[in-house]
Amino acid sequence: MKKLLLPFLLLAILSCSGSDEEASTGDKPCGYHAGGAQLYLGPQGGCYYINSNNNKTYVDRADCKC
């Protein structure tokens, strides 16, 4: 029985190991903006950071390092 549960336990642990920032936006973290804000790569290829008003501010795609 223990041998059967071990793969499921490992899978559950690995699936929850993502960063909090990635989980909150759903997009991939890709470096930092000149002001120190975390940059993200959106699902359609846009590069942005979350500004002080909690809105997305898009920057040049070349700023993302992923």
Q: Which runs of E-coded beta strand occur in 1-66? A: 28-32, 38-41, 47-50, 56-59
The pTM assigned to this predicted structure is: 0.61
The 10s digit of each residue's pLDDT in 11-31 is 444 344 444 455 466 899 999
β 28-32/47-50 pair status: unpaired
- pLDDT band, residue 59 (cuts 50/70/90): very high
Q: Please say if the pLDDT value at position 6 is more than 60.
A: no
In sign, the C-alpha dihedral spanning 31, 57, 45, 22 is positive
- pLDDT band, residue 1 (cuts 50/70/90): low
Q: What is the DSSP letter of 27?
A: S
